[in-house]
């Protein structure tokens, strides 16, 4: 479960948000040595999202007029057929069953499905390109 100062799912810059992930006691041992990684991938259920095919299957990213009509699987919007979010974040610290992370774009009380260590060999794609609208979208955040 995520404990975050952010309580509402709005489009914003999450880069500086510091939040916690509370792991069930029964699984806490599964965090053993996770602190030796600088980054983790958090998989979570976007529990307040709801997908409606009419408006969400093809839409303009962030509802912006200057963005092209784009399929839901070609954008990162939260209203998806299966509302699963994945975000790579910096791991700031571990204490017992609690992880402290930076940059997690999940609101308070979001259920966490899985946590994986970030492996550059798996997760860091070389020479990845994106359409031009992605740069315009990201400009406001990075």
Q: What is the DSSP string of 86-131?
A: EEEEEEEEEETTEEEEE-----TTPPEEEEEE--HHHH--TT----
Using the minimum distance from each CB to a second copy, give the nearer residue, 80 or 107: 80
C-beta of 109: minimal distance to a second copy in Å? 18
Q: How far is the CB of 115 from a second copy (least distance, A)?
A: 4
* Interface positions with a second copy (CB under 8 A): 23, 26-27, 29-34, 36-41, 43, 53, 57-58, 68-76, 80-82, 84, 86-88, 90, 113-125, 127-131, 134, 138, 141-142
Measured over the CA atoms of residue 71, residue 69, residue 83 and residue 98, the dihedral's sign is positive
Pick 8 or 26: Cβ nearer a second copy: 26
């Amino acid at each position: 479960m995520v404990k975050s100062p952010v309580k509402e799912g709005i489009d914003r810059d999450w880069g500086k948000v510091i939040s916690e992930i509370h792991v069930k006691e029964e699984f806490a041992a599964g965090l053993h040595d996770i602190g030796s990684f600088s980054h983790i991938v958090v998989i979570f259920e976007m529990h307040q999202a709801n997908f409606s095919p009419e408006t969400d299957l093809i839409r303009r990213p962030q509802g912006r007029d200057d963005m092209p009509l784009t399929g839901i699987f070609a954008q990162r919007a939260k209203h998806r057929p299966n509302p699963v979010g994945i975000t790579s974040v910096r791991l700031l610290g571990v204490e017992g069953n609690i992880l402290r992370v930076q940059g997690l774009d999940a609101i308070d009380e979001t259920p966490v499905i899985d946590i994986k260590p970030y492996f550059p060999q798996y997760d860091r794609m070389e020479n990845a390109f994106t359409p031009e609208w992605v740069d315009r979208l990201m400009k406001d955040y990075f």
